[in-house]
Structures are given as structure tokens and as C-alpha cells.
Amino acid sequence: MTRIFCVLASATALALLSTFGLGLMQLGQPPPVRLSVSLSSHIISGLVTGIAVLLVHCLVFTYFLGTGRWIREVAEAYALAEEESLRPARQLKRQAYPSLMLAMLVTIAAIGSGAATHTDPASFIGLTHPIFAVLTLLANGWAFYRQWHAIRQNQVLLERIFAAVRARQANAQVVTHAS
């Protein structure tokens, strides 16, 4: 999952930066009567990038839900200590979720403020879109780092659980063969 996440997060970060760059090209220009090519590109890029960002964060959310449940079931089946399995899994989930949710909410706010800016660029809401765009870059950068770190630690935890399960299975085979 670490490699997959790195590829998806990098591609999404690049798309965020590209969309931000397209938006910067619009600053200081009078509101268009019709959509220009660069504004259309920014709008389409923003929508596609926003969906991709939400997809990556939802993937991480689902990953931690799935591995957490798997860890719980394996811990019950093999009588693993909670301190070695369930507690670290919960801590990793708690480490990743706040930044993930914040990044998703700020991204949605940037998309919404962009739509509002397009309808009335001269209003107060027109000022919020660039602010939310910068916050989106910062929140997603922070969230991607936190998620990558949590996924890496989760991989280590899964390997430890695999090792504990293999050891218990080996002990069970030794006991079975000795009988």
C-alpha cells in the first residue's frame, strides 16, 4: 500500500499544483463575459483534481478500516495481546484521520468557493477562493505526509502480526507432531 499511496499522492499533488497554477493565471484579469480557454481549463482541472484528492483520502480511510478489522479478527483468533495489535492499529488510525478529514473538507470548500467565485467574481466570496486554494495545498501536503507515515507504520505492525501468527502456527504444528 505504501507504493500505491506514494504514486497516487504524488500524482494528486502534481494535479493540485497544476490546478493552482492555472488559477494563478486568472488573477488580476477582469471577469470574462465568456469562459476563456485558461479559465475552462482551471475549472475542469479543479473538478477532476478535487475528485482525485477525495478519492485518495477515501482510499486511505478505507485502508485503515479494512486493516483495523483484519487485525481485530486475527488478534481474536490467535489470542494476540491488545497492546501488540489492536492498540497500535487504533493509534495509527487516529493519527491519519484528522488530517485526512481536514484535507477533504478544505478541498470541498475550495471547490465550492470556486463555483461561487465563477457566479459572482466581484463579491466577497471571490476573495475566499484563492485563500481556500492555498489552504488546500497546505492541508493536503500535511495530510499526505501524515498518511504516508501512518501507512508505513501500519505495514510494520502488519509484519509483526504476521510473524506472531507464523510463530503460533509453528508452535501448534510442533505440539501436533509431538502428540
Provide the residue ranges of all domains of the chain, joining segments of one domain with +: 2-27+35-178
Q: Tens digit of pLDDT for each residue in 106-149?
A: 999 999 999 998 888 778 888 899 999 999 999 999 999 999 99
Residue 82: predicted pLDDT:
86
Residue 177: predicted pLDDT:
62
Choice between 171 and 32, residue whose per-residue pLDDT is larger:
171
Query: Within 13 Å, how many C-alpha atoms sit on residue 2's CB side?
Result: 10
Q: Quote the CA–CA distance of 147 and 5 in Å, as a whole number.
A: 9
Residue 33: predicted pLDDT:
58
Are 61 and 97 a contacting pair, CB within 8 Å? yes
Q: Tens digit of pLDDT for each residue in 78-111?
A: 988 888 889 999 999 999 999 999 999 999 999 9
Choice between 131 and 174, residue whose per-residue pLDDT is larger:
131
The CA-atom distances, in angstroms, between 53 and each of 34, 41, 146 are 28, 18, 15
Q: Quote the CA–CA distance of 147 and 112 in Å, as a whole number.
A: 25
Are 142 and 134 a contacting pair, CB within 8 Å? no
Extract the C-alpha cell encoding 78. Answer: 490467535
Q: Tens digit of pLDDT for each residue in 2-50?
A: 999 999 999 999 999 999 999 998 877 776 656 677 778 999 999 999 9
**What pTM did the predictor assign?**
0.87
Extract the C-alpha cell encoding 120. Answer: 459572482
Residue 172 pLDDT greater than 80, yes or no: no
